[in-house]
């Protein structure tokens, strides 16, 4: 029987997940279908219920439903609990399992695809919304020298730090403290790139050979990446994270982890 999956979001028409999973399915010889599911803003649970009851095996969850998906899951993995966010639901016979593959996806892209170590690195995470929260646990697992979070609204960054029990390496600073600091890896987890506005990261923050990573993709060179490039940093958009989080979701559902290299290359060509 063909296993059925979908990405649930609003909007969802732009999602590249169906293309990515179709390539994984071909590569792994998996008999599966993967579609887009548009959920009305107030009907996440009803939309997923209907899909699940029709015999589907799982869903990916994108904006704005990752918190609803967290509540919808009957059981949750430790990494979903840590970020209080779910991007992958697996419909088992007796329960609905919520997981989050975003953090692993980001870190695999940075470490394995880009070749930038996180162990011992000084990391700056800009933003304190759901996207930032979801990746903190995975970044901490790599034992950076420091994980510093900064946000336009400083209280939100401090509130996230207070949730994680990692004060020896994980702490918040205000934008005004940035000019005196230097980092090896700078990650933009704000939604500022959607509106082409620029988080206030001074050029002096980028250490020689630093990596600037924008979790957005398909936006060309965002203002954050343009600034980073002019400061001499290496730059990466979030397309690799998208592919890696999808590969991990595939593994969560099917117990097989696809090889991502050729899929990422193909996605890179098609989004050019």
Query: How is residue 102 annotated by DSSP?
Result: H
Instruction: Identify whether the C-beta of residue 138 lies closer than 8 Å to the C-beta of residue 107.
Output: yes
102 upstream amide cis, omega within 30 of 0? no
What part of residues 40-99 is at the interface with ligand ATR (CB under 6 A)? none
The pair phi, psi for residue 213, each rounded to 5°, is -125, 120
Identity of the residue, 160 or 247, whose beta carbon is nearer to ligand ATR in the bound complex = 160
Nearer to ligand ATR, 25 or 134 (CB): 134
Counting Cβ atoms within 10 Å, is residue 158 exposed (0-12), middle (13-18) or buried (19+)? middle
Pairing of strands 88-91, 96-99: antiparallel
- Contact string (CB under 6 A) for ligand ATR, positions 135-164, x = contact: ----------------xxx--x--------
Is 152 or 268 the residue whose CB approaches ligand ATR more closely? 152
33 in Cβ contact with 2 (< 8 Å): yes
Residue with smallest beta-carbon separation from ligand ATR: 129
Give yes or no for residue 9 binding ligand ATR (CB under 6 A).
no
CA angle (12, 15, 21) in 5-degree steps: 125
Alpha carbon separation from 33 to 2, 7, 36, 130, 186 (Å, rounded): 7, 11, 10, 28, 37
Spatial distance between the Cα atoms of 171 and 115, rounded to a whole number of angstroms: 25
By beta-carbon proximity to ligand ATR, the closer residue of 158 and 191 is 191
- Does 176 contact ligand ATR by CB under 6 A? no
Member of 58, 98, 144, 199 binding ligand ATR (CB under 6 A)? 199
- Angle of the 130-141 helix axis to the 154-163 helix axis, nearest 10: 40
- State the minimum distance, in angstroms, from the CB of residue 159 to ligand ATR: 10
Closest CB 209 distance from ligand ATR, rounded Å: 25
CB of residue 73 to ligand ATR, shortest distance in Å? 18
Q: Closest approach of Cβ 171 to ligand ATR, in Å? A: 16
Nearest distance, CB of residue 146 and ligand ATR, angstroms: 19
Q: Is 112 in the site for ligand ATR (CB under 6 A)?
A: no
| Residue 204 binding ligand ATR, by CB under 6 A | no
Residue 16 a catalytic site member:
no
Nearer to ligand ATR, 32 or 131 (CB): 131
- The residues, ordered by sequence, that sit 6+ positions from 175 with a Cβ below 8 Å of its Cβ are 150, 152, 154, 200
Residues marked active site are found at: 66
Residues of the shown chain interacting with ligand ATR in the complex, contacts defined by CB under 6 A: 127-132, 151-153, 156, 190-192, 197, 199
């Amino acid at each position: 029987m063909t296993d059925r999956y979908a990405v649930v979001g609003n909007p969802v028409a732009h999602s590249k997940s169906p293309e990515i999973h179709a390539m994984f399915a071909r590569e792994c010889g998996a008999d599966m279908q993967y579609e887009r599911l548009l959920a009305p803003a107030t009907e996440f649970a009803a939309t997923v219920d209907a899909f699940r009851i029709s015999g589907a095996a799982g869903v990916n969850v994108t904006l704005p439903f990752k918190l609803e998906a967290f509540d919808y899951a009957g059981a949750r993995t430790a990494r979903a609990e840590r970020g209080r966010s779910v991007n992958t639901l697996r419909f088992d016979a007796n329960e609905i399992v919520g997981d989050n593959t975003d953090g692993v996806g980001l870190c695999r892209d940075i470490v394995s695809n880009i070749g930038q170590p996180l162990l011992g690195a000084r990391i700056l995470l800009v933003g304190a919304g759901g996207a930032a929260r979801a990746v903190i646990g995975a970044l901490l697992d790599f034992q950076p020298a420091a994980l510093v979070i900064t946000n336009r609204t400083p209280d939100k960054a401090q509130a996230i730090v207070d949730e994680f029990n990692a004060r020896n390496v994980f702490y918040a600073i205000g934008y005004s403290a940035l000019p005196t600091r230097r980092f090896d890896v700078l990650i933009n987890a704000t939604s500022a790139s959607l509106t082409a506005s620029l988080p206030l990261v001074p050029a002096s923050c980028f250490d020689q050979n630093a990596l600037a990573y924008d979790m957005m993709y398909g936006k060309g060179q965002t203002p954050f990446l343009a600034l980073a490039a002019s400061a001499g940093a290496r730059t990466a958009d979030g397309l690799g994270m998208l592919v890696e989080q999808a590969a991990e979701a595939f593994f969560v559902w099917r117990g097989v982890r696809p090889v991502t290299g050729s899929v990422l290359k193909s996605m890179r060509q098609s989004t050019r």
